Amino acid sequence: MKFAGIAVLVMAIIGVGIIAIMALFTVTGSGMYIFNAAYPTVPDYVPIYKTKEVDMTNEKVAQLALSMGIKGNFQDTYSGLIEITDNSKNPPESIDIYTKSGSFRYSIPSKEMRSVTYQPLLPSYDEAKEIADIYLEERNLLRNDFTFSKVKVGDSQEKWRAGDTKPLAHYDINLNVIYQRVINGIPATEWITVTIGENGEIVGLTYKARAIEEKSFRNVRIITPEEAYKNLVEGDVLIKPLTGVDSTIRITNVSLQYYMKEGVLEQEFVLPVYVFSGIEPLYDSSPIVRYVPAIDPDELKIPPLDTSAYSK
């Protein structure tokens, strides 16, 4: 399959009043897009924000790990990532801390990523949300700028027999309770995810919450969703898809969001993007996402912004 997508929840910002239209565009070397979505209503201008400098000293890293109940030696896997495994726990627990953003990932690996031969006893979706809420509140991690998004199955496993067209058995291994960040009323591509395993046990936590300045840096004019779609068709996206194999993506949702980089990367500004979400119909794929810069190019001529602003 050509495009490796990133699964995200796509939310409309204000409301849509345009009827979905269908159009087929062929893009040389980038496959085809089928547009089957409604364009969102967006403002002419949105504020942008500067991130705060992250000062993750060894002492602060140790304090963060201890707040999650983990002690152990630091392992500098690569720049921007420190791993700590607590082998005194049975089973061992671990935490990955991203020093360039302050994000972290806690896990009980043997319970979160495991193989099963039966259906584990999982809580209901309502019970899972309650468990996650309490877990985050007890650790002062349930922030006001994050809102509950959804509960969904995290990992699952199937048992197959050669020649069959359907699995013999399907097992849901854990549930993910997801909270999405909202900045100035606009969703951001940043989430807190609590992973709940058998008997309601917390077996993982992904905490992405990059610190930003409370006061906006300035307002910028943005392009329209229609212009953004044209740019998508022309290949102007933040994360370039793989090349070499043609593919068709049916766009089913469009929204305006703030773009947050992966925790291991540095980021200077928090800038708006259009998020185009869809699927590959022939492959019944997981959601595929494309990020298109939303700032009007003329705004990128005003320092300190420039044409490389999205990569900083």
Pairing assessment for the beta strands 218-221 and 202-207 based on DSSP bridges: unpaired
Matching residue, tokens 């791993």: 83
Q: What Rg, from alpha-carbon coordinates, does the chain have? A: 21
Q: One digit per residue, pLDDT tens: the chain, 312 residues?
A: 333 333 333 333 333 333 344 444 444 334 588 999 999 999 999 999 999 988 888 999 999 999 999 999 998 877 889 999 999 999 999 999 999 999 999 999 999 989 999 999 999 999 999 999 999 999 999 999 999 999 999 999 999 999 998 999 999 999 999 999 999 999 999 999 999 999 999 999 999 999 999 999 999 999 999 999 999 999 899 987 755 456 788 899 999 999 999 999 999 999 999 999 998 877 666 788 999 999 999 999 999 999 889 988
Pairing assessment for the beta strands 248-259 and 31-37 based on DSSP bridges: parallel
Q: What is the pLDDT of residues 4-46, one digit of tens each?
A: 333 333 333 333 333 344 444 444 334 588 999 999 999 999 9
Please give the pLDDT value at position 28.
37
Give the per-residue SS3 of the chain.
CCCCCCCCCCCCCCCCCCCCEEEEEEECCCEEEEEEECCCCCCCEEEEEEECCCCCCHHHHHHHHHHCCCCCCEEEEECCEEEEEECCCCCCEEEEEECCCCCEEEECHHHHCCCCCCCCCCCCHHHHHHHHHHHHHHCCCCCCCEEEEEEEECCEEEECCCCCCCCCEEEECCEEEEEEEEECCEEEEEEEEEEECHHHCEEEEEECCCCECCCCCEEEEECCHHHHHHHHHCCCCCCCCCCCCCCEEEEEEEEEEEECCCCCCCCCEEEEEEEEEEECCCCCCCCEEEEEECECHHHHHCCCCCCCHHHC
Cβ neighbours of 56 (radius 10 Å): 17
Please give the pLDDT value at position 246.
60
Cross-strand bridge partners of residue 35: 23, 251
- Taking alpha carbons only, the member of 300, 276, 163 closest to residue 222 is 300
Please give the pLDDT value at position 284.
63
Please give the Cα distance from 95 to 266 (Å, whole number).
Answer: 20
Please give the pLDDT value at position 285.
63
Task: Kindly report the pTM of this predicted structure.
Answer: 0.85
Pairing assessment for the beta strands 175-183 and 146-153 based on DSSP bridges: antiparallel
By the 8 A CB rule, do 282 and 308 touch? no
- In this structure, the dihedral spanned by the alpha carbons of residues 105, 67, 98 and 214, taken in order and rounded to 10 degrees, is 110
Name the residue ranges covered by the structural domains of the chain. Answer: 21-50+219-256+269-311, 58-207
